[in-house]
């Protein structure tokens, strides 16, 4: 997604625009400070976003590329000269605590993804220093969950359904962690002096930013190395062959793994289509990897690759043979290399090599042995300052001066201000501004949907639940206006006043990603979060001007949650209360707005909302008959019972299910908490969504409608497949077993000689 104005040529440019704006005081803010503090010195503050950008460039020159948290900490320190050292330490630790890695991959969390990407692109543009972006997509995590569940059941002598789903997911998480740690360890080993910033950008997506890789051949070498080591590690985990969850009939998609695309950020010509182009390359690479596991190649892809290299002078035709001979030779070489690679991988796989430890025990043995060897590149982090590091900010722990319905940001700010008051540290107007800026970041935003991350929602639920009794105690039911507001909400008395939560499950976000690419899909995701869900909440009676209005969080994919405080007052002081009646109205309004969205033209919607649309996109949408959002195809073939029949098909278009419940649990009780509460709501919503899908297919079946089996290809296809042949430096397919593979990884052993005696002989 491009930015606007000065940042229109920057990847995720709208993120950098908002980031720079955080440090610039508006005329209104400056005027207020000077009215309250006539002697305040604001001369050291930037007056424009360009001033902030210059300061960032100076940081890059002196310290190299920094994570967003490091960048913000350094800028705040610069803009508070002479401030108390304890304040500087507090803000720096608060910022760097946000670099705490997420638990599965060990990478930075998604909140950093877009800003880190835009900073990296600017770094390449402004400094001329090399910056590489590696986009990674895992394969078949759902199918891997099923495989582990079946294996656990078989080993325990029970049915797979008797195995808790989470037990299987934890094993998949271990496999994800191994591959993630393996990639960053491999990069750090090749480039020990470079800055590596790894980020988990989605459930099955990663992005790794690396400085210092200057040569295209180095980038290809890195791609080949990472793919080779991913395949080796997958084989040694025994995860190559189980069926794909969404395509069990296609052996090329079997197993677990990951594919990636490497992009020189200095060579991004069109940021509006870059992610789609990388997605297309990754999709093609997954196909090539799947074929290689089977000892097969895509002859047409190899021929096209070779022809392209010949045409652009990347290869030459030796004397005495024809270009057709060169292409035939390339196909033959690729086929032989693929078979060598497939044989080598089978030797590493306990499913084919009985000398290796088998089953779940063998998997765990290999992971336990290898993980300690994968030394991770350092990322600056710190512990959250103790005053802010609290389990609860509600109930008896609610900070003084905070209302029971106040936001998480207000609670964190109140705690910080209380700390500095107790320490006797005076805060200047500038210090107060930047302290608030830093502390509010502890309630992070999901960059895709631009609403709260799930961790913030869990904390909000616990605080709101703890504060519910205090809120009810403040309600004066003898007030006629209060009584009227209660009646409007359908509440009989103050005892029924409770916060309300909703789980919203959207169908076909995967179809949006496939049809429009992740960035245009994010445009739709934000529209759903703010206009469909948020607009429905306001239409149901929550005022827009309320100080404590409501909170929306994005849990990934099509899952959202909404927290409505027990009540509040609008800008005119009129009371309102949340209730089941309001939830019913929200549900009806969301249904109506989704219907309108399905009837909306895709090209017109994207143009209106800042998406990337050009002639090629319009041509693609027209060719695939993607006129409205109702035409967005479901990527998954679904089956449901219909009497004695089983009907199958795809549920096209966008659909929504909403479930709600009063937030009435006691967060102090064992086993109770915001995570469990919202998790149960989401489970109900997902189950109802599955019922809705079945109902839609039943309706179509009764009407005699035919279901579609095909999915359109992605709109942006890669020009060449540079992986089928391998690089000029490593001629083997993915360099496994290639003639120069020993440069990068241990050579595969010949199948006719001694086999590996134990799993994990090399990480």
DSSP string over 230-295: HHHHHHHHT-SSSPPSS-TT-GGG-S-EEEEEEEEGGG-S-TTTHHHHHHHHHHHHHHHHHHHHTT
In this structure, what token pair is assigned to residue 338?
Answer: 């693929």
What local confidence, expressed as pLDDT, does residue 24 receive? 93
Q: Assess contact for 104 and 176: CB atoms under 8 A.
A: yes
In angstroms, rounded to a whole number, what is the distance separating the alpha carbons of residues 406 and 759? 54
Strand partners, 648: 639
DSSP, collapsed to helix, strand or coil, labels residue 452 as strand
CA dihedral 309, 313, 314, 316 (to 10 degrees): 90
Q: What is the pLDDT of residue 763?
A: 54
The reported pLDDT for the residue numbered 716 is 31
Nearest Cα to Cα of residue 11 among 204, 208, 266, 281: 266
pLDDT confidence of residue 310: 83
pTM of the model: 0.86
Q: How many helices (H) and strands (E) does the chain have?
A: 23, 14
Residue 6 pLDDT: 63
Give 190's contacts (C-beta < 8 A, 6+ positions apart): 222, 225
> How many other C-beta atoms are found inside a 10 Å radius of the C-beta of residue 231?
25
Which pLDDT score is estimated for 180?
Answer: 98
Residue 729's pLDDT is 38
| Chain centre distance of CA 154 | 33
d(CA 356, CA 345): 13
Label residues 391-428 b or e (16+ Cβ within 10 Å = b): ebbbbeebbeebbbbbbbebbbbbbbbebbeeeeeebb
Rounded to 10 degrees, the C-alpha dihedral 504/505/508/512 comes to: 40
**Please, where are the H alpha helices in 475-601?**
480-489, 509-527, 534-539, 580-598
Structure tokens that stand for 601 in this block: 């033209």
Pairing of strands 638-642, 645-649: antiparallel
d(CA 314, CA 307): 10
- The backbone torsions φ and ψ at residue 446, rounded to the nearest 5 degrees and listed phi first, read -75, 120
Q: Which CATH number fits domain 110-379+715-743: 1.10.10.10, 3.40.980.10, 3.30.70.270, 2.30.30.30?
A: 3.30.70.270
Residues of the chain with pLDDT under 70: 1-6, 545-548, 705-763
Query: Could you tell me if 288 and 320 are in contact, meaning their C-beta atoms sit under 8 angstroms apart?
Result: no
The phi-psi region of residue 281 (left if phi > 0; otherwise alpha if psi is between -120 and 50; otherwise beta) is: alpha
- Structure-block tokens of residue 462: 């616990």
Segments making up each domain of the chain, as ranges: 110-379+715-743, 400-407+444-666
* End-to-end CA separation in angstroms for the chain: 37
Please tell me the distance from the alpha carbon of residue 376 to that of residue 718, in angstroms, as a whole number: 32
DSSP bridge pairs for 137: 205, 259
Using CA atoms, how far apart are residues 524 and 476, in angstroms rounded to an integer? 42
Say how many C-beta atoms besides its own lie within 10 A of residue 762's C-beta. 13
147: left (phi over 0), alpha (psi -120 to 50) or beta: alpha
d(CA 42, CA 471): 40
């Amino acid at each position: 997604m491009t930015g606007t104005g000065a940042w229109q040529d920057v990847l995720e440019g709208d993120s950098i625009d908002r980031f720079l704006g955080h440090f610039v005081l508006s005329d209104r803010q400056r005027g207020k400070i000077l009215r309250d503090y006539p002697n305040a010195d604001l001369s050291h503050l930037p007056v424009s976003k360009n001033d902030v950008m210059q300061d960032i460039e100076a940081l890059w020159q002196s310290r190299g590329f920094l994570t967003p948290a490091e960048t913000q900490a350094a800028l705040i320190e610069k803009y508070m000269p002479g401030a108390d050292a304890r304040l500087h330490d507090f803000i720096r630790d608060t910022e760097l605590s946000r670099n705490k890695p997420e638990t599965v991959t060990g990478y930075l969390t998604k909140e950093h993804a877009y800003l880190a990407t835009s900073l990296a692109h600017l770094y390449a543009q402004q400094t001329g220093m090399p910056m590489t972006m590696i986009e990674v997509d895992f394969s078949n995590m759902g199918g891997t969950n099923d495989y582990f569940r079946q294996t656990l059941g078989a080993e325990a002598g029970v049915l797979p359904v008797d195995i808790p789903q989470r037990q299987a997911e934890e094993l998949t998480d271990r496999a994800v962690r191994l591959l993630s740690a393996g990639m960053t360890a491999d990069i750090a080993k090749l480039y020990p002096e470079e800055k590596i910033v790894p980020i988990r950008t989605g459930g099955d997506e990663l992005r790794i930013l690396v400085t210092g890789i200057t040569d295209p051949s180095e980038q290809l070498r890195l791609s080949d190395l990472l793919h080779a080591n991913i395949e080796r590690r997958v084989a040694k985990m025994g995860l190559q062959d189980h069926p794909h969850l969404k395509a069990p009939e296609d052996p090329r998609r079997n197993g677990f793994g990951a594919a990636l695309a490497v992009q020189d950020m200095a060579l991004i010509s069109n940021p509006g289509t870059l992610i789609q182009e990388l997605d297309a390359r990754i999709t093609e690479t997954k196909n090539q990897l799947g074929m290689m596991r089977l000892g097969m190649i895509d002859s047409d892809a190899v021929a096209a690759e070779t022809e392209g290299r010949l045409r652009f002078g990347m290869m030459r035709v030796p004397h005495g043979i024809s270009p057709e001979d060169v292409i035939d030779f390339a196909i033959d070489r690729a086929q032989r290399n693929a078979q060598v690679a497939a044989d080598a991988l089978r030797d590493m796989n306990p499913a084919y090599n009985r000398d290796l430890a088998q089953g779940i025990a063998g998997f765990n043995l290999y992971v336990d042995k290898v993980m300690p060897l994968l030394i991770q590149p350092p990322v600056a982090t710190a512990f959250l300052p103790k005053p802010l590091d609290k389990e609860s900010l509600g109930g008896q722990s609610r900070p003084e001066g905070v209302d029971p319905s106040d936001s998480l940001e207000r609670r964190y700010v109140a705690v910080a201000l209380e700390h500095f008051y107790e320490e006797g540290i005076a805060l200047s107007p500038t210090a107060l501004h930047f302290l608030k800026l830093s502390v509010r970041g502890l309630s992070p935003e999901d960059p895709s949907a631009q609403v709260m991350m799930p961790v913030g929602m869990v904390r909000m639920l616990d605080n709101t639940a703890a504060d519910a009794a205090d809120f009810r105690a403040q309600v004066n039911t003898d007030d006629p206006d209060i009584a009227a507001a209660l009646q409007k909400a359908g509440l009989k008395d103050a005892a029924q006043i409770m916060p309300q939560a909703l789980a919203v499950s959207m169908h076909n976000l995967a179809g949006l990603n496939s049809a429009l690419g992740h960035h245009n899909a994010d445009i739709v995701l934000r529209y759903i979060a703010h206009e469909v869900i948020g607009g429905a909440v306001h239409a149901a009676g929550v005022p827009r001007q309320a100080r404590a209005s409501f909170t929306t969080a994005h849990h990934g994919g099509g899952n959202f949650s909404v927290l409505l405080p027990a009540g509040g007052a609008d800008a005119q002081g009129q009371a309102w209360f949340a209730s089941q009646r309001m939830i019913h109205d929200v549900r009806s309004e969301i249904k109506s707005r989704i219907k309108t969205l399905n009837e909306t033209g895709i090209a017109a919607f994207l143009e209106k909302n800042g998406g990337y649309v050009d002639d090629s996109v319009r041509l693609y949408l027209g060719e695939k008959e993607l006129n409205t959002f109702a035409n967005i195809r479901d990527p998954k073939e679904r089956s449901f019972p219909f009497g004695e029949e089983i009907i199958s098909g795809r549920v096209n278009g966008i659909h929504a299910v909403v479930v709600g419940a009063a937030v009435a649990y006691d967060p102090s009780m064992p086993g109770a908490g915001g995570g469990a509460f919202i998790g149960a709501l989401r489970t109900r919503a997902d189950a109802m969504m599955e019922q809705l899908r079945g109902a839609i297919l039943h309706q179509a079946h009764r009407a005699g409608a035919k279901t579609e089996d095909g999915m359109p290809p992605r709109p942006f296809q890669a020009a060449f497949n540079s992986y089928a042949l391998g690089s000029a430096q490593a001629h083997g397919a993915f360099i496994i077993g290639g003639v120069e593979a020993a440069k990068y990884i241990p050579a595969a052993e010949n199948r006719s000689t001694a086999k590996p005696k134990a799993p994990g002989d090399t990480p």
